[in-house]
Structure formats: structure tokens, C-alpha cells
Amino acid sequence: MLSFTIFSQPTSYFLPKPHNFPPKPTKFSLPTTFIKPKMSTFGGFSINAQLGSNNEPSTLIEYVGKGGINVGDDLVVLIDHLQYACKRIAALVASPYNSNLGNFVEGSGNSSRSGRDAPKPLDIVSNEIILSSLQRSGKVAVVASEENDAPVCLADDGPFVVVMDPLDGSRNIDASIPTGTIFGIYNRLVELDHLPAEEKAALNSLQSGTQLVAAGYVLYSSATIFCATFGSGAHAFTLDHTTGDFILTHPNIKIPPRGQIYSVNDARYFDWPEGLRKYIDTVRQGKGKYPKKYSARYICSLVADFHRTLLYGGIAMNPRDHLRLVYEANPLSFVAEQAGGKGSDGKSRIRLIQPVKLHQRLPLFLGSPEDIEELESYEDIQQNVNPGYEV
Ligand SMILES: O=P(O)(O)OC[C@H]1O[C@](O)(COP(=O)(O)O)[C@@H](O)[C@@H]1O
């Protein structure tokens, strides 16, 4: 039985606001710091506000629309609704002292997960915010979310299927640690239209990662960043709080072919297999193919760890069966590949793994191509001892 509960949520979250948040100035004049676009450089990657032909910065919607890569009107409408939802989540995570959140009991919502995995209030609210935006877009037939046991049917004739983790990393939320939304977009499989609703929703959600039309993530951190691929490179847009627009700041991201950073929860060292221990021991000592000692960075928030890896290079990994193929590994692998990187489960390319169930978990290694290849050469890198950690 499919369930979709947005109408029973506190109305304050779901007032059908007109789609004009925040109001757009008629003529936007740029602060000079934007016109002289070089802002900073990290690891050889320069962050620029890209100016369009009218000398104004390109917004996400302009970029995907007719003035940019022109992904088609339906997808533009979907992305417009998605970015709106993500701005609402950004505002919520930045200011979570909303009394309505108290109405959500930890572990409530439409998910049977419990213990460490039980959804937090902000997980549930973020899920509802995105679901209601996608429903209003009229462009989405099915949404498969981490927060719902089964896929949710929206508009029967919607051209797209969305898979998502609405708010990853939320267990750190009370410490204001970065969180993120992950999404993937597929075409609806029209050849399945004749099937019963539940069956076609499930099959539409289990498409292979190679069929993704678009994918990305939104990082909620010191900046809110919408990073996406539509199959022609990976591009990131930073939320400009003065106008409410996502501005193209990182066009055509290229991950460094090799980084000097590994990102993993190494408290699990003694549960790791021999190959993974050996790899980490080797690069820590600067004895790998790249003869410099590696550094460790681990936020324990997948989007944040992946975003850093995309910009600085190296590997973000979780070697145990924890992260989800459909709405975490596949979308992030698509972005990684479009930036010249790799997404692997330690043995195979992620996007070639056929999903068999919605919440399927697997080891995940994302990052610089040379680092991933070197790590894979140790062969025995998937952690099979997975006792169910408490924190
Ligand atoms: O406990 P581990 O293995 O370090 O896992 C941490 C990972 O789990 C996550 O919190 C995701 O877990 P959930 O999908 O259960 O929310 C990631 O953000 C993070 O990378």
C-alpha cells in the first residue's frame, strides 16, 4: 500500500506559497566583488561567479533553461521546484528552533527504520517539503525516498522519477555540522504504464544508475551549494542570500586526478579487511603511488565529505554495507564521473550495479580516478564485518 502523508503535516510548512521565493528584483545590479569574479582558489580550482551575456551571474534556472544548456521545459520546472524546496530546507537547518518540529516524534513518519537509523524530525520535515514541491511541479510520477519504505506516486503522467535522500547527515544536526540533500532523476518508463501502480512505481525506482538523466546534491553548510549534472559536466551553484538565487560559481568541476586526502571512519580499522588496512597504512606513510603522506578528513556527513573530495581530490569512502545504492551511491557516482572521477563499490563501477531493492546498501568509494584505481588494486577492501555501530 502506497502512502503519502503530506496533507497531515502542520500547515505552516506546507502553505502553498506562490513560487516566487524570494522576490526577484526587476533589475539586479551586481556588487563589484561579483563582477571581478575571482573569489578564491582551492587546490587549483578557482571559484568564480560566472557572468552571462548581460554581465549578470548565471542562475541555476537560467543555466538549465533556454539561455544555458536547455535541458527541456519539463526538467527546468522540476529543478525549479526542487531548488525551492532545498532553499526551505536550508532555512530550516540554519534555524531549527521552530516549535512545529517538536510535533514530530523521533522515528515517526513513513519509515520502519529504528535505532541509529530512525528518522529525525528534520528528516521527516525535509522529506515532506520536497515531496510537496515535487507534487506541485506536476512533473514527477514517482518519488523514492530514504524516508519512505515504498515509492510514492505523485502525477501519473509526470515525465520523471525522482530518487532522493532528503536530508543526509542529520544525526549531526544538533551540532550544526553540514548536512545535504541527494537526488537523482530518471525518465518515467512509459512502457510500464500498464502495470499496477505499486509495481510500476517500484520498477521505475529501480532503474540502473546509467539511466540517470540528472543527479546532484545540495550541501547545507557555511554556504548552501546546489551541485548537479545533467549529463554534460558537473556544475555547482551557490545560494546568494541577497537575491535568493543559486548562482553558477563552479562551472565544469574537474576533480583532481589524484588527491592527498582519504575520508573514512577509521575507528572501524579493526573491522576492516586486510586490503583496506594495507592501503590506508601505505598512503598514510607516503608509500603509495603518490609519494606524499596523505591526510585524513571525515565529517561523517556524506554530502560534505563528497563535496570536499570533488574540489580537493582524494577518496571519500564508507567500506561497509551502509550507504544506499539507489538514492545515495548512484546520484553521487554520476556527479563524480561527470567531474572526471569514479564511483565504485570496491569491485565494480557503481552505476553498473542493477538495484534489486529500494533501500539496498553497499560499500561506497568515490573520488579521484587515480586514487580509486590504486585503492581497488588492493582488492580486499569491502568491510564485511558490520556489527551495527551505535554512533
Ligand atoms: O557510521 P559510518 O559508517 O561512519 O557512516 C556515516 C555515514 O552515514 C551517513 O550519516 C548516512 O547514514 P544514513 O543514510 O543512515 O542517514 C552519512 O552521512 C555518513 O557518511
Ligand 1 mutation pick, 126, 322, 361, max ligand atoms within 8 A of CB: 322
The predicted pLDDT at position 121 comes to: 86
The predicted pLDDT at position 32 comes to: 36
The predicted pLDDT at position 109 comes to: 61
DSSP-assigned beta bridge partners for residue 182: 165, 217
Q: Which domain holds residue 221?
A: 54-250
**Domain end position, chosen among 250, 280, 312:** 250
* Structural domains counted in the chain: 2
How distant, in Å, are the alpha carbons of 19, 93, 220, 239, 383 from that of 247? 18, 20, 15, 6, 40
Helix axes 302-312, 330-338, angle to 10 degrees: 10
The predicted pLDDT at position 52 comes to: 63
**Domain end position, chosen among 227, 250, 273:** 250
According to DSSP, the β-strands at 245-250 and 361-367 are unpaired
| Pair 239, 283 in one domain | no
| Pair 75, 222 in one domain | yes
382 in ligand 1 pocket by Cβ < 6 Å?
Answer: no
118 in ligand 1 pocket by Cβ < 6 Å?
Answer: no
The predicted pLDDT at position 118 comes to: 74
The predicted pLDDT at position 186 comes to: 98
Q: Which regions in the chain score pLDDT beneath 70? A: 1-57, 96-115
**Domain end position, chosen among 250, 276, 305:** 250
The predicted pLDDT at position 43 comes to: 37
* Annotated active-site residue in 328, 337, 345, 371: 328
301 in ligand 1 pocket by Cβ < 6 Å?
Answer: yes
